[in-house]
Structure 1
Amino acid sequence: MSLDAASEAPAGSSADEPASEDAGDWGDGARVRRAWSPRGFPAGLVALVAAGVAGTALYIGVTARIDRAPRWSRDLLERAQTHEWRDSAVVAAGLVTAVVGLWLIVLAVTPGRRSLLRLRSPGDGMTVYMTRRTAASFLRHTALASSGVLDARVRMGRRKAVLRVDYHFRDPDELHDELTERLEERAHALTLARVPRVDLRLQPVSGR
């Protein structure tokens, strides 16, 4: 689990007054905001590239102004003036730039941190998360505690937990009802902000 003490209260509201999101968005089917990644590495990379381009352009401009431009800068300017847009190098550079730009846009509009699931808030100004792996482990051990279950694999999502259970020597309908009840109880006990729906799939195993 992870604990984020950043305040969730909107601007203009008092500290003793819970945010409207906390009051109405918890529970089954609620709209729950995901954890946002700080994106320090992409931001630092963009800042570094922008600083390098700006510094190079400034250097070329100053040296050209005083007629002391180095040979490499003159060659660079000449290539920029003589290359056509259909040139393979220009097309490749444009494609790379477009892909990087699209990647940065996706990073800007998506929260990231897909491995974290938000829990019900323990108090004002506190945000708590549980990793998907931890939630999946709880559900897996709950399934393994039932008699006849040999193995269980869990794929944990934000809205649904898919469990594939291998079993033997049990009536499938009886086992399905038993596991569904136990897993739903466990899913509610995890205190997730959005309780995931349990999708149980039984697979009989013979010869074990």
Structure 2
Amino acid sequence: MSLEASPEAPAGASSAETPAGVLDDWGDGAKVRRAWATRGLPAGLVALLAVGLAGTALYIGATAKIDRAPRWSRDLLERAQTHVWRDDWTIAAGLIAAVLGLWLIVLAVTPGRRNLLRLRSPGDAMTVYMTRRTAASFLRHTALASSGVLDARVRMGRRKAVLRVDYHFRDPDELHDELLERLEERAMALTLARVPRVDLRLQPVSGR
């Protein structure tokens, strides 16, 4: 679980000033914003690349103006002007650049930090998160507390928690109803901003 200062609303702001879709909710399906990552490494790499390319271009342009360009820069300019950009290396470099550019765009428009689930906020200036692993652990221990349950595996998502439960010596319908009720109560007690829907799947250990 983590605490972060929320950039979405200043301290002392009223609920009427909070943007639509950002209000904390107990699970009625309202939109809940995810935690955004800082993206420090990609941003640093892009900045270094941009500075390197801009510095090289500025150096070549400045030296060419005073007729003191080094031989390698003259060769580079000549090759850029006369080369036919159709060979395999050029195509491969273009594809790599396109993939990297698409990757950077995806990083820019997605929040990242998929392992965090937002909790109901205790205040306008604070945002609280729980890890998916922690939430899954709560649900798993709830399932294991029921008689007849041997093991439980949980895949925790933002909207749905899928539980696969191994059991024996229990009526499946009775166990399903009992477990589903307990798991839904536990999911509600987690105080997540969006209460996940519980998808319960039972598997008898005998294989019948």
Q: TM-score, normalised by structure 2?
A: 0.92
Superimposed CA distance per residue, residues 91-140 of structure 1 (whole angstroms, 9 cap, x where no aligned partner): 11111111111111111111111111000001121100111011001101
CA displacement, residues 120-164 of structure 1 (integer Å, 9 cap, x when unaligned): 001121100111011001101111111111111000000000000
Q: Partners of 1:23 and 1:94 in 2: how far apart?
A: 40
Q: Does 1:27 align with 2:36?
A: no
Give runs of ≥4 in structure 1 deviating > 6 Å.
none
Return the offset for 1:26: 0.9
Worse-matched range after superposition: 78-87 or 37-46: 78-87
d(CA) in 2 for partners of 1:41, 1:7: 22
Change (3 A) 1:16 1:67: closer
Which residue in 1 is equivalent to 2:14? 17
AA at the equivalent of 2:148: G
Correspondence for 2:165:
165
Counterpart-to-counterpart distance in 2, 1:83 and 1:66 = 25
Report which stretch shifted further, 161-170 or 83-92: 83-92
In the alignment, does 2:60 pair up with 1:63? no
| Distance change in 2, residues 1:24/1:77 (3 Å) | closer
Greater shift in the superposed pair: 45-54 or 17-26: 17-26
Aligned length: 204
- Aligned partners of 1:60 and 1:165: how far apart in 2? 67
Is 2:91 aligned against 1:91?
yes
**Per-residue displacement from partner, 1:7-34 (whole Å, max 9, x unpaired)?**
4226xxx725232558855122121011
Q: Is 1:72 the counterpart of 2:69 in the alignment?
A: no
SS of residue in 2 equivalent to 1:187: helix
Gaps of 5+ in 2: none
2:146 is matched with 146
Per the alignment, residue 115 of structure 1 pairs with 115
Root-mean-square deviation over aligned CA pairs: 1.8
Query: What is the aligned partner in structure 1 of residue 200 from structure 2?
Result: 200
Identity between Structure 1 and Structure 2 (%)? 81
2:2 is aligned with 1:5: no
Distance 1:96 1:7, change over 3 A: closer
The whole-number CA distance in structure 2 between the counterparts of 1:110 and 1:172 is: 41
Please give the secondary structure, in 2, of the residue aligned with 1:165. Answer: strand
| Equivalent AA in structure 2 for residue 79 of structure 1 | R
Scaled by the length of structure 1, the TM-score of the pair is 0.92
Gaps of 5+ in 1: none
**d(CA) in 1 for partners of 2:190, 2:132:** 11
Q: CA deviation at 1:78?
A: 2.1
Paired AA for residue 109 in structure 2: V
3-state secondary structure, aligned to 1:121: coil
